[in-house]
Structures are given as structure tokens and as C-alpha cells.
Amino acid sequence: MASTPKSMKSLLPHFLIYTFICIASPLFAQQDQLSPATTNELSPATTNVLKLNFFLPGISYEQKLAELTTLHLDAYMDGLIITAPYSDDEQSHVYPTPSFKAELRTYYNLLKRNFKGAQTDMNSANYFAPLYVGRYTLVSEYEERKWINQLGFVWGIQRNGPGRFCIDVNTGLIFTVSAKSYYFYDPINIVFHLRLGFWLGRKSE
């Protein structure tokens, strides 16, 4: 999920982040510790990437802005989980939540990965980014859906493999604008995005 509402007063976000790090760290470590290859004559740079995501289903596009900077746009279906204490029938519910996200990414270790001989194609590197998230969501049990705006900052890892499979995960903090008007959202939340999918089109040269 894109953010943690009031209904999720639990350690679930921390558990997800910890679980992902435990599973993914060996993979990323192997990639970063590949025996150094001859340094490319041309320094690596970001490129445009179009993806189809099946975890948090949707489509994303990454536009190159500078050598190490991209604008990442993502339209996807998130989910709002309302747990038992916050629902009338004392049961948990999941509500589909159409969402849009924009990140200004800086891939800070792209050059280092290239020097080590690790994969850097299709923006396969670590990044940090300020972000905007818009969500068409329930804000309470007694109101219609509303469009809410969130601003934050994340750190993330992206890997795009030669077989087109891609993984993109980031975490950080997000601020919900006018949160006092929304029962299911706190002013500041942990944000955790995990996307699995496939990149489309031809690999950039």
C-alpha cells in the first residue's frame, strides 16, 4: 500500500520493510559485488523506461531529465485496509483506491555500480526522491470518496533485468495535506511501495 492510514495501527509497515530487506539484500549484494569489469568508455546515464506492473497493478513511465535524474510517473490501483475496530461490522475490509504518484528520482550510485561491473541498464540503481501521491479514497465511513494529496520523501532500489522482469521498492515518510479532515489518515505516515512487473519496448542503447 502507498501509505499507512489510521486504521493500520500496527507494525505491518515495519514488518514489510524488514522482510523485503532480508529477502532482497543477498540479491542486491551479489549484483554490487560482481568482479569489476573494464570501466565503460561512456559513463552510464538514466534512460526512458515504460513498465507494466502487476503488484499494485498499473502502468508507469520514467522520463530522463539529466544524466542521473528522472521524472517517474505512476498510475496504479492501491488498497485501503480498514481493520475491525474502525468498521461497523467489526470485520476488516479492503477498498480499491485509484492512485497517482510522481517522483523526482536521483540515482546516486549509478556510476559506482557501473564501475563495479554491475547491471545499470534501464536505470538499475538506488535512488532518493521527493514525491507526490494523489489518492481517490474513502476518508471516513460516513463520507463519499475524496481526492487527497500527499507529499513526502523516499529512498528506493530499482532493478530491471534482461528478461524484462523488474522490481522497484521504496520507503520513506509522507505528509497528508489537510489530514485533520480525514478520519482514516494521519498527518504523517510511513510510505512503502513495492512494485513487480515488466518493462516494455526496446532497451535503450
By C-alpha distance, which of 5, 25, 7, 6 is closest to 169? 25
Residue 4 lies in a domain: no
What backbone torsions phi and psi does residue 119 show, to the nearest 5 degrees? Answer: -65, 130
Q: Is 7 a domain residue?
A: no
Asked, for residue 17, whether it belongs to a domain, the answer is: yes
> Using an 8 Å Cβ cutoff, are 187 and 176 in contact?
yes
Strands 146-160 and 165-176: antiparallel
Residue 190: closest CA among 145, 105, 133: 133
Q: What is the CA radius of gyration of the chain?
A: 18
What is the identity of the amino acid at 14?
H
What region does 72 belong to: left with phi over 0, alpha with psi -120 to 50, or beta?
beta
Give how many domains the chain has, as a whole number.
1
Three-state DSSP at 13 gives helix
* pLDDT tens, residue order, the chain (205 aa): 544 455 444 444 444 455 455 544 444 444 444 334 444 445 788 999 999 999 889 999 999 999 999 999 999 999 887 775 555 556 677 889 999 999 999 999 999 999 999 989 999 999 999 999 999 998 887 888 999 999 999 999 999 987 899 999 999 999 999 988 888 888 999 999 999 999 998 765 5
Distance between CA atoms of 57 and 76, rounded to whole angstroms? Answer: 5
In a domain, 26, yes or no: yes
For 3, phi then psi, to 5°, come to -155, 165
Q: Is 164 part of any domain? A: yes
Q: Is the dihedral of CA 51, 196, 54, 14 positive or negative?
A: negative
Question: Is residue 191 a part of any domain in this protein?
Answer: yes
Q: What is the pLDDT of residue 46?
A: 94
CATH number for 195: 2.40.160
Task: Tell me what pLDDT residue 161 has.
Answer: 83
Nearest residue to 74 (alpha-carbon basis) of 63, 54, 59: 59
Within a domain: 73: yes
The dihedral built from the CA positions of residue 129, 134, 135 and 141, taken in this order, carries a sign that is positive
* Whole-angstrom distance, CA of residue 196 vs CA of residue 92: 26
**Residue 174: which domain range?**
12-32+46-200
Whether 2 is covered by a domain: the verdict is no
